[in-house]
Structure 1
Amino acid sequence: MARGVMCWSVQQLAERANVGLSTIKRLEALDSVPVSAQVGTLQAIAKAFTDTGKVRFEGLDGVYIVGV
């Protein structure tokens, strides 16, 4: 959801989060976050969004777009 609102490609998110392209594709293909997902990877992805100042996350299900 946040990637679409930001109009980022999968490649752009991977670069901004410093995460492998295949990792982003794999995570997006799932309905939920797998138990095997690395916490650091998820934090890096979240940080890529929150660093823009346009996205914030609250709780487990809250994604808020700010001023997009």
Structure 2
Amino acid sequence: MKQFFDSIVRTPGVLFMSMLATGFTVNAGVQFINGTNLEGPNLLAAACLVVGQVALIVVQQLRKVGQNSPALSLQ
């Protein structure tokens, strides 16, 4: 299981998307505290990044399984 989580962390783009989602979430919190009522777009952006992360992880894991499977090779 640890190897699975390590492979997710090493997936290209996941760390960058995590930093962006954290930034949008913090910005939404600041907007909420300031009472500007502009936190919605920031939360939407953070949620879209999280969905993108999940999709990226699924695609990368499927790709890795496909590369390691000898039954799918065309040799």
TMscore range, shorter length = 0.3 to 0.5
> Structure 2 length normalisation: TM-score?
0.31
Higher strand share: 1
Larger Rg: 2
Higher helix share: 2
> Structure 1 length normalisation: TM-score?
0.33
